[in-house]
């Protein structure tokens, strides 16, 4: 025992904060309906934290459609908005402002003159991007935010054009842009209020003709999921949400569900502009274009036999930021290293908290080994497994604040660390798993634990019980355990600790932390050494 005690490492002292390199940049999008800006803080962990968003409606596409030339009045409005955005970006200490112009300026005969005015009056280097480049940047923005483990169709319905993208976490397989934007189609086909049968028939015929080759391409790629971006789709989702009585505070992403959409489409086709004023959830600035946009969405639902379209708020502007960063900051490699957005967010938080990478990854690996081999007992699914793994990876980040009570600090950092792509309930489960990796197990007086659903509490109890054992099995922080082999019996669990090294300290550490396992799994666990 004396030899064992002497071999124990002293607990490490709290690690100092490590401030990651960061850059504050702004992306401005001169679109067909509006001018948008997003300011974000980017760091070498690949994180992109939004600081500010601004929008001003400037209907360039509608104004330019009859003559294919942007009127001076709209040009003035856009430049005034850009000047305001530029001032805010400077006040927010942005080191770089990136400005792009899309379909309306692309198609305008005086688009070049507009860019020259922006340069001469504001000093901003705005550039016109092609439809394909717009699609590529939208893909980058969505990929950064949304999980796309399988092939996904991304739709962006703008005022002048519509982008059709198919891709996954690794690469894009299809990047297409068509001049089917809501403002363009409204100006060309909608001459009556409400829309007449003749106008509607002409609009549908045009959509079907122009989209036929696109639909064939999409079907060849066989996407399993559809994500929509842009103000038009967000407005339609907002109307559906308002109609269903959902206040949008559930933490789950907005969706356009087929069963809710087609009744809405029928209402919109019969509505006048004045009628649409009364539709809850409809942005006033979108009222005039929502019919054309909704008819397009209806065609996409029918042609692709979709059940739902998920809404992602990140798109072109975020893509502009990410594209700039990838070209100008070589250290931003986390995107290539970790393509899965949820895991990337977890690792980014861990890095910001100066985590002990080797120990945390070893503990997570051992925790999952126990989870997988004990599935016949706990019965939890792959979704629970992912949340437990996240809790294991983040269990020690509380050291970033201090040693004493670091398990509680870990919980605080998880809850306030800006984890992306998780629902609030999932974040609370991860935080509780991390919090209960040591000291007192869950109690009735622990409000954060009791606030979880019964299933959430079950995941936390199983996850924390396994995490305690895994943490003990890396007591030396030297990753001496190669593998675990469990034999599950009705009366007990025997766990062979496979190692090429002396793992007596690890066995001792696990035995000290087995109480929660035995109370949760209703049987003892016995550890024994096994040579690799």
Whether residues 213 and 237 fall in one domain? yes
Whether residues 92 and 209 fall in one domain? no
Whether residues 340 and 295 fall in one domain? no
Greatest Cα pair distance, the chain, in angstroms, is 92
CA angle 242, 243, 246 (to 5 degrees): 50
Whether residues 64 and 151 fall in one domain? no
For position 43, which CATH number holds? 3.30.420.40
For the segment 381-423, what is each residue's pLDDT rounded down to a tens digit? 999 999 999 999 999 999 999 889 999 999 999 999 989 889 9
Domain tally for the chain? Answer: 3
Cα gap 96→40, rounded to integer Å: 11
Whether residues 295 and 366 fall in one domain? no
Whether residues 285 and 433 fall in one domain? no
Cα gap 410→395, rounded to integer Å: 6
Backbone φ and ψ for 42, nearest 5 degrees, come out as -115, 145
412, 374 Cβ separation under 8 angstroms? no
Cα gap 441→436, rounded to integer Å: 6
Cα gap 480→497, rounded to integer Å: 10
DSSP-based three-state secondary structure for 240: helix
Confidence band (pLDDT; 50, 70, 90) for 258?
Answer: very high
For position 257, which CATH number holds? 3.30.420.150
CA dihedral 375→381→386→390, nearest 10 degrees, is: -60
Whether residues 249 and 183 fall in one domain? yes
CA dihedral 58→60→62→63, nearest 10 degrees, is: 100
| 437 has pLDDT over 80 | yes
Examine the fold and report which residue of 328, 352, 378 is the final residue of a domain before the chain moves on. 328
> What does the H/E/C string look like for 286-338?
HCCCHHHHHHHHHHHHHHHCCCEEEECCCCHHHHHHHHHHHHHCCCCCHHHHC
Between 85-89, 242-246, 478-482, the lowest mean confidence (pLDDT) is in: 242-246
Closest CA to 342 of 223, 225, 169: 169
Domain-embedded: residue 17: no
Cβ partners under 8 Å of residue 250, min gap 6: 423
Domain-embedded: residue 266: yes
Domain-embedded: residue 134: no
Q: Which residues pair with 37 in a beta bridge?
A: 28, 54
> What does the H/E/C string look like for 399-410?
HHCCCCCHHHHH
Cβ partners under 8 Å of residue 287, min gap 6: 273, 276, 277
pLDDT attached to residue 340: 84
| Total Cβ atoms within 10 A of residue 386 | 18
Domain-embedded: residue 7: no
Backbone φ and ψ for 18, nearest 5 degrees, come out as -115, 110
Whether residues 245 and 162 fall in one domain? yes
Question: H or E stretch including 180?
Answer: none
Domain-embedded: residue 208: yes
Cα gap 387→253, rounded to integer Å: 18
For position 438, which CATH number holds? 1.10.3210.10
| 249 has pLDDT over 60 | no
203, 292 Cβ separation under 8 angstroms? yes
Domain-embedded: residue 376: yes
When pLDDT is averaged across residues 215-223 and rounded to a whole number, the result is 96
Strand arrangement, sheet containing 481-488: 481-488, 493-499, 525-531
Cβ partners under 8 Å of residue 132, min gap 6: 175, 176, 177
Backbone φ and ψ for 101, nearest 5 degrees, come out as -120, 145
Whether residues 152 and 121 fall in one domain? no
32, 65 Cβ separation under 8 angstroms? no
Strand runs (DSSP E) across 44-95, as ranges? 48-57
Whether residues 86 and 162 fall in one domain? no
| 517 has pLDDT over 70 | yes
pLDDT attached to residue 336: 62
Name the average pLDDT for the chain.
89
| Total Cβ atoms within 10 A of residue 219 | 12
Q: Which residues pair with 35 in a beta bridge?
A: 30, 56
Whether residues 229 and 88 fall in one domain? no
Closest CA to 160 of 110, 213, 105: 105
When pLDDT is averaged across residues 30-42 and rounded to a whole number, the result is 92
Task: HSE, CB side, 13 Å, CA atoms: give it for residue 422.
Answer: 26
pLDDT attached to residue 526: 97
Percent of the chain surpassing pLDDT 70? 92
Domain of residue 39: give its range: 22-129+317-328
Domain-embedded: residue 252: yes
Whether residues 221 and 256 fall in one domain? yes
This prediction has a pTM of 0.66
pLDDT attached to residue 15: 35
Closest CA to 153 of 233, 73, 215: 215
Choice between 384 and 335, residue whose per-residue pLDDT is larger? 384
Domain-embedded: residue 11: no
pLDDT attached to residue 335: 64
């Amino acid at each position: 025992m004396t030899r064992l005690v002497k071999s124990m490492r002293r607990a490490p002292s709290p690690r100092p904060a490590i401030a990651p390199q960061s850059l504050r940049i702004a992306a401005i999008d001169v679109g067909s309906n509006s001018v948008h800006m997003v300011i974000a803080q980017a760091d070498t962990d690949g994180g992109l934290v939004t600081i500010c968003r601004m929008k001003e409606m400037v209907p360039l596409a509608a104004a330019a459609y009859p003559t294919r030339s942007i009127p001076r009045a709209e040009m003035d409005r856009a430049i005034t908005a850009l000047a305001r955005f530029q001032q805010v970006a400077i006040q927010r200490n942005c080191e770089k402002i990136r400005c792009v112009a899309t379909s309306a300026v692309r198609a305008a005969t005086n688009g070049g003159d507009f860019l020259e005015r922006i340069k001469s009056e504001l000093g901003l280097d705005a550039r016109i991007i092609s439809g394909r480049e717009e699609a590529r940047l939208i893909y980058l923005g969505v990929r950064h935010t949304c999980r796309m483990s399988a092939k996904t169709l991304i739709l962006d319905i703008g005022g002048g054009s519509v982008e059709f993208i198919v891709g996954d976490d690794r690469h894009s397989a299809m990047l297409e842009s068509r001049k089917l934007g809501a403002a363009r189609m409204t100006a060309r086909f909608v001459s009556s209020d409400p829309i007449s049968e003749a106008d509607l028939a002409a609009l549908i015929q045009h959509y079907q003709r122009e989209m036929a080759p696109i639909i064939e391409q999409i079907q060849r790629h066989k996407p399993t999921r559809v994500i929509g971006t842009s103000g038009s789709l967000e407005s339609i989702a907002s109307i559906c949400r308002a109609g269903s009585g959902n206040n949008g505070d559930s933490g789950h992403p907005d969706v356009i569900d087929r069963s809710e959409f087609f009744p809405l489409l029928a209402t919109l086709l019969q509505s006048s502009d004045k009628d649409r004023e009364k539709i809850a959830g409809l942005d006033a600035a979108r009222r005039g274009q929502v019919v054309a946009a909704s008819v397009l969405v209806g065609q996409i639902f029918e042609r692709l036999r979709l059940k739902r379209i998920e809404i992602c708020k990140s798109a072109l502007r975020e893509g502009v930021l990410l594209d700039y960063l990838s070209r100008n900051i070589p250290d931003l490699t986390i995107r290539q290293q970790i393509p899965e957005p949820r895991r990337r967010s977890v690792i980014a938080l861990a890095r910001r908290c100066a985590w002990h990478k080797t120990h945390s990854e070893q503990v997570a690996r051992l925790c999952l080994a126990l989870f997988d081999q004990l599935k016949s007992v706990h019965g939890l699914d792959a979704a629970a497994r992912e949340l437990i793994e996240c809790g294991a990876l983040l269990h020690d980040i509380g050291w970033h604040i201090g040693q004493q009570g670091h398990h509680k600090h870990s919980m605080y950092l998880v809850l306030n660390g800006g984890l992306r792509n998780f629902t609030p309930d999932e974040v609370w489960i991860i935080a509780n798993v991390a919090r209960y990796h040591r000291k007192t197990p869950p109690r009735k007086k622990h409000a954060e634990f009791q606030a979880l659903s019964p299933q959430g509490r079950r995941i936390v109890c199983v996850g924390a019980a396994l995490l305690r054992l895994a943490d003990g099995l890396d007591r030396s922080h030297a990753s001496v355990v190669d593998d675990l082999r469990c034999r599950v019996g009705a009366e007990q669990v025997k766990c062979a600790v496979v190692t090429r090294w002396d793992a007596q300290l690890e066995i001792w550490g696990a035995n000290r932390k087995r109480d929660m396992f035995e109370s949760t799994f209703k049987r003892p666990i016995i550890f024994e050494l096994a040579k690799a």
